[in-house]
Amino acid sequence: MRKRKSPAKNPPARAALLERYAHIADSITRLFFPYAEVVIHDLTDQTVAYLSNNLSKREVGDESALEDVEETTRDKLLGPYEKVNWDGRRMRCVSTALFDDAGQAAGVMCINFNIAAFEEIRSTLDLFLRGSGVVAQPVELFKDDWQERINTFLHGWLRERQIALNSLTREHRRELVEALHAEGAFKGKSSANYVAKVLGMGRATVYKHLREMKQGM
């Protein structure tokens, strides 16, 4: 998962850099495994000092080839930005400056996240959700589908009021029963039972609200 020079071969500055930040790199890649790579660059010689979950096929000691180092050390954070990995996959990256005890920039930690894997998942989901040869509902077959009409009205009512179905109050449920009644939703057979189940209320309560509305007419 990681490549690290032995402490004996590391200059003191690099050894301090790794001792302070290598475990942070490992914690990030462990949490987001296998999608994240973390690279620690040593600014004293502009080389790769540490690799955790190597996705870029670099090696410790390779030239860092860092860009915008001054901007990163000044702002302490650069990104997120995107780059292309060796295999053509897109990576979303953040670079953050690492400082020594004197407050001087000693290194840069680059977190590289493989977003291509999620793009592939999104493409698969888009293809599935788009469907193949999906046509409109046959009018004759569904002209009496009162359940769908109730569902459509119900969720339109909820969207207008920005209310979630699972957070309806007793008053909301009463208002919905009245609104559904005004829309003619209770003309369907067993529609009152269906509304009671969808709204999470007792069937007797639905009938009670309906009786009260009829009595008030």
Per the domain annotation, does 126 fall within a domain?
no
Q: How many domains does the chain have?
A: 2
Per the domain annotation, does 97 fall within a domain?
yes
For residues 107 and 146, membership in a common domain is answered with no
For residues 111 and 195, membership in a common domain is answered with no
The sign of the torsion formed by the CA atoms of 153, 157, 163, 168 equals: negative
Per the domain annotation, does 130 fall within a domain?
no
Per-residue pLDDT for 201 more than 80? yes
Per the domain annotation, does 124 fall within a domain?
no
Q: Binning pLDDT at 50, 70 and 90, where does residue 2 land?
A: very low
pLDDT at 142: 36
Report d(CA 159, CA 164) in Å as an integer.
8
Per-residue pLDDT for 9 more than 60? no
Domain endpoint, select from 76, 91, 119: 119
Give tens-digit pLDDT for 107-120: 899 999 998 878 77
pLDDT at 23: 95
For residues 73 and 149, membership in a common domain is answered with no
Per-residue pLDDT for 212 more than 60? yes
pLDDT at 179: 87
For residues 11 and 111, membership in a common domain is answered with yes
The sign of the torsion formed by the CA atoms of 148, 151, 154, 155 equals: negative
Average pLDDT over residues 124-133: 70
For residues 88 and 170, membership in a common domain is answered with no
For residues 97 and 40, membership in a common domain is answered with yes
Higher-confidence residue of 133 and 51: namely 51
Higher-confidence residue of 129 and 150: namely 150
Query: Can you list the alpha helix ranges (DSSP code H) found in 4-115?
Result: 12-31, 69-75
Per-residue pLDDT for 53 more than 90? yes
Residue 107, classified by CB atoms within 10 Å of its CB into exposed (0-12), middle (13-18) or buried (19+), is buried
Long-range CB pairs of 22-28, under 8 A, 24+ apart, other chains included: 22/50, 22/52, 24/109, 25/50, 25/52, 25/109, 26/1, 26/2, 26/52, 28/52, 28/111
Give tens-digit pLDDT for 158-177: 888 888 888 888 899 888 88
Average pLDDT over residues 54-65: 87
For residues 9 and 96, membership in a common domain is answered with yes
**Residue range(s) defining the domain that contains residue 162:** 139-212
Order the strands of the 77-84 sheet from edge to edge.
Answer: 2-4, 47-52, 36-42, 105-114, 90-99, 77-84
Per-residue pLDDT for 104 more than 60? yes
For residues 68 and 166, membership in a common domain is answered with no
Higher-confidence residue of 22 and 70: namely 22
For residues 15 and 94, membership in a common domain is answered with yes
CATH code for the domain of 26: 3.30.450.20
